[in-house]
Structure 1
Amino acid sequence: MLYLRLDLQYFAADEKTEKATPKKRQDTRKKGQVPKSQDVNTGFLLLLVFGTLYLLGGPMKNVMTGMYEHAFQEYIHWEVTENHVHMVFSEMTWEISKVIAPVMGVAIVAGVASNLLQVGIMFTAEPLKMDLKKIDPIQGAKKIFSARALVELVKSLLKISMVGAITFAIIWVNKNDMMMMSQKSLEGALDFFGTTTILMGLASALALLILSVLDYTYQRYDHEKNIRMSKKDIKDEHKNIEGDPQIKAKIKEKQRQMSASRMMSEVPDADVVITNPTHYAIAVKYDENKFDAPYVVAKGVDFVAQKIKEVAKANNVITVENRPLARALYQQSELDRPIDEDYYKAVAEILAYVYQLEKKM
């Protein structure tokens, strides 16, 4: 029964039930994994392109018809020479560029704007890296028969149905005028079919934009579902950010050892070691070139205190017992810093005693 309970707890800890942490979201974004709908791009592109055609359709038609008129009225009479061919191609390219450039510029703006609207500014090369899993046939088969593939199929059928219904409805409404086009001039027929085509494009673009709102909502939901984390994942991430407690404890212990070793190396240069006598030991030094007051070069309690006294004895550093001063200096003083003014007199008396003793010796 105990093993069963532990197994259930283990599986519960591995279930992806928690929302992604900010670090997880940042890592997935760096990999290029962001919620994005291609329908938003398509809808924006079609809307702006057909809007541009609606606004600039007249000037574009004039450029194209003028180009054909010029070709059949002037170019047709030119001799076929290298210079004339070069001139024809250059002028034709320039005229066609005046028609295509606005449409291409608007298409680029639409693509950039739709991506910024969904994703924001993001630069990553992760999707371009070689990944053998992308050509794994088993993984490919799983994607084909996955729930996401089914959703994409339903979405594609819905888009085709919507666009087809819209275009058919517009053609059906204008069927009578369309049947009478044979009775109108070429310019009238071009105006009619151009206007009808732009109307179908704008209506389809609006329909795709409405559909893209639903698709983007689904993409966000699917993205949030894919980046969910288990409680174990969150704990592991916290350990990675803050550091493993055991490793941190070892690092602190190592730092203490290094500090103690460095502190012990200062004891031989101390002027005096003030003791408790058993629990505290504080090594004090006075160097007027460093500080205006005596300062603590080493301090410790219990084992460290005994070690300080041993090093002091081995290096002939005088030890003086003063219980209240030793306890006070340990609590109120910092390593390699001058002692507090409250203890100047007491420490000065001890140093004077030590200097006199050394002078006698």
Structure 2
Amino acid sequence: MSDEAPEQSSKTEDPSHKKLEDARKKGDVVKSQEVTTWFMLGGTTALFGFMAPGASSGLANSLKEIFANADQFEIGGAALQAFFDGLALQLVLIVLGPLLVLSICAIAANLLQHPPLLSVEPITPKLSKISPLAGAKRLFSSEALVNFIKGLLKLSIVGVVVAVTVWPEQDRLSTLMTADPAIILGEFQEIGLKILLSVLAVVTIIAFADFLYVRQKWWKRQMMTVQETRDEYKQMEGDPAVKGRIRQLRQERGRQRMMASVPDATVIVTNPTHFAVALKYDKSMKAPLCLAKGADAIALRIREVAKEHDVPIVENPPLARALFASVEIDQPIPNEHFKAVAQVIGFVMRLRDNRGWTPGNSVN
């Protein structure tokens, strides 16, 4: 128990949805046995109050008929077999109804506490379940002590309730020893129903309190430490360091592909030192296309690659800033920049046709 206290005290975070789902898959759900007991006792009380009189009367009438006409029954083998078959069938029909009702109550008790669940985890063989040391720890654990105390309190309370309910009826019970059998059945039903209702009222309080206790204990067991929360986040979202490295590699590869397309550009529009945008245009295109763009060091590298491959560089700070902010790589330029870009590309083409431009040099 001393080993569990520090670990539990470090669990300060509410359980995540994943933690709760994992616990549910393992069969670890909120389940109070007292709630099941309440449903079974309630079903028994309902059966005793509504079905018992009719069933007992029917069985009593059948037995009366048998005893009244006992001399008329055949003693032969086939007749005797038929007699017992009929009696057994009647008993089965009487018992079948209560069994069905109690089965429904048991199912309802579980469905009320948690959704339908199918898990083999609780019945999976584990060495800890057959280990004497683990068994001794469970036997002398705080949970075992609490369950023992709960059992004693429940028995004591129910015993007191039964005693208080039966005590006023002691004179009535003493007269049943000499009463007519037909009267005994009705008296017994009345007293028994009173006892069941009294116990049910007490068990209702016990079941509600036990359910709250079990749920709170289950919730504390599902709580997580800060490290568990971080580890789960890393597992679900990925390690931030790994994600950052992957993002860096993708950026580097994208930059390499972008730089590889600079030699195909028609013109490089620059700031001249802060921005650079590589544009491509030919007569088959509806609008110029942005092949590459960058700021500062990347802009410098674009200009260097352009000079290496004799791509014209035009210094137009307003246009360079506007294109850098509004156009994406491998996308056509926006309509509002058509006129300015057309002027730059037309200027470059005229210089190239007139051979007034020296490859690799900037044009102001």
TM-score when normalising by structure 1: 0.81
Which residue of structure 2 aligns with residue 151 of structure 1? 146
CA, structure 1 residues 93+247, in 2 after alignment: closer, same or farther (shift >3 Å)?
A: farther
Is 1:162 equivalent to 2:136 in the alignment? no
44, 48, 51: which is aligned to 1:53?
48
1:257-296, Cα deviation, whole Å (9 max, x unpaired): 2322332343344333323444432121236767x32221
Tell me the distance in 1 between the aligned counterparts of 2:328 and 2:213.
61
Which residue of structure 1 aligns with residue 15 of structure 2? 21
Q: Provide the secondary structure at the position in 2 that maps to 1:298.
A: strand
Which residue of structure 2 aligns with residue 5 of structure 1? none
Is 1:349 equivalent to 2:346 in the alignment? no
User: What is the aligned-residue identity percentage?
Assistant: 32
Is 1:324 equivalent to 2:318 in the alignment? yes
Tell me the distance in 2 between the aligned counterparts of 1:156 and 1:299.
76
How far apart are 1:14 and its partner, in Å?
9.1
Is contact 2:74-2:80 (8 Å) kept?
Answer: no
Is contact 2:289-2:330 (8 Å) kept?
Answer: yes
1:89-114, Cα deviation, whole Å (9 max, x unpaired): 3x445433432233223212322332
Q: Provide the secondary structure at the position in 1 that maps to 2:77.
A: coil
* Paired letter, 1:293: A
CA, structure 1 residues 94+303, in 2 after alignment: closer, same or farther (shift >3 Å)?
A: farther
Tell me the distance in 1 between the aligned counterparts of 2:88 and 2:312.
99
How far apart are 1:360 and its partner, in Å?
6.8
Is contact 2:15-2:222 (8 Å) kept?
Answer: no
Is 1:303 equivalent to 2:297 in the alignment? yes
1:226-237 alignment, distance < 5 Å: 226-237=221-232
Tell me the distance in 1 between the aligned counterparts of 2:208 and 2:81.
51
1:132-147 alignment, distance < 5 Å: 132-147=127-142
CA, structure 1 residues 258+80, in 2 after alignment: closer, same or farther (shift >3 Å)?
A: farther
1:39-76, Cα deviation, whole Å (9 max, x unpaired): 11101211122222211222111332244356664894
* Paired letter, 1:255: R
Is 1:253 equivalent to 2:248 in the alignment? yes
* Paired letter, 1:77: E
Tell me the distance in 1 between the aligned counterparts of 2:107 and 2:306.
74
105, 125, 150: which is aligned to 2:100?
105
Q: Provide the secondary structure at the position in 2 that maps to 1:192.
A: helix
Which residue of structure 2 aligns with residue 189 of structure 1? 184
CA, structure 1 residues 68+272, in 2 after alignment: closer, same or farther (shift >3 Å)?
A: farther
1:219-241, Cα deviation, whole Å (9 max, x unpaired): 23322332333333344444445
Is contact 2:165-2:198 (8 Å) kept?
Answer: no
- Between stretches 13-22 and 42-51, larger displacement belongs to 13-22
Is contact 2:327-2:333 (8 Å) kept?
Answer: yes
Tell me the distance in 2 between the aligned counterparts of 1:189 and 1:314.
114
Uncovered stretches (5+) of structure 1, i.e. residues with no partner: 1-11
Size of the aligned set, in residue pairs, is 347
**Aligned-pair Cα RMSD in Å:** 3.4
Q: Provide the secondary structure at the position in 1 that maps to 2:329.
A: coil
* Paired letter, 2:217: D
Q: Provide the secondary structure at the position in 2 that maps to 1:229.
A: coil
Is contact 1:44-1:209 (8 Å) kept?
Answer: no
Which residue of structure 1 aligns with residue 220 of structure 2? 225
1:323-353, Cα deviation, whole Å (9 max, x unpaired): 3322321122222222233321221122224
How far apart are 1:246 and its partner, in Å?
1.9
* Paired letter, 1:210: I
Tell me the distance in 1 between the aligned counterparts of 2:259 and 2:84.
93
Is contact 2:39-2:105 (8 Å) kept?
Answer: yes
How far apart are 1:242 and its partner, in Å?
4.7
- Between stretches 255-264 and 226-235, larger displacement belongs to 226-235
CA, structure 1 residues 84+306, in 2 after alignment: closer, same or farther (shift >3 Å)?
A: farther
Which residue of structure 2 aligns with residue 7 of structure 1? none
59, 74, 85: which is aligned to 1:77?
74
- Between stretches 220-229 and 48-57, larger displacement belongs to 220-229
Which residue of structure 1 aligns with residue 26 of structure 2? 31
1:114-135, Cα deviation, whole Å (9 max, x unpaired): 2233334555444344433333
TM-score when normalising by structure 2: 0.80
Is contact 2:48-2:189 (8 Å) kept?
Answer: no
How far apart are 1:19 and its partner, in Å?
4.2
CA, structure 1 residues 241+289, in 2 after alignment: closer, same or farther (shift >3 Å)?
A: farther
Tell me the distance in 1 between the aligned counterparts of 2:282 and 2:178.
113
* Paired letter, 2:330: D
CA, structure 1 residues 132+353, in 2 after alignment: closer, same or farther (shift >3 Å)?
A: farther
How far apart are 1:38 and its partner, in Å?
0.5
Uncovered stretches (5+) of structure 2, i.e. residues with no partner: 1-5, 356-364
Tell me the distance in 2 between the aligned counterparts of 1:285 and 1:93.
97
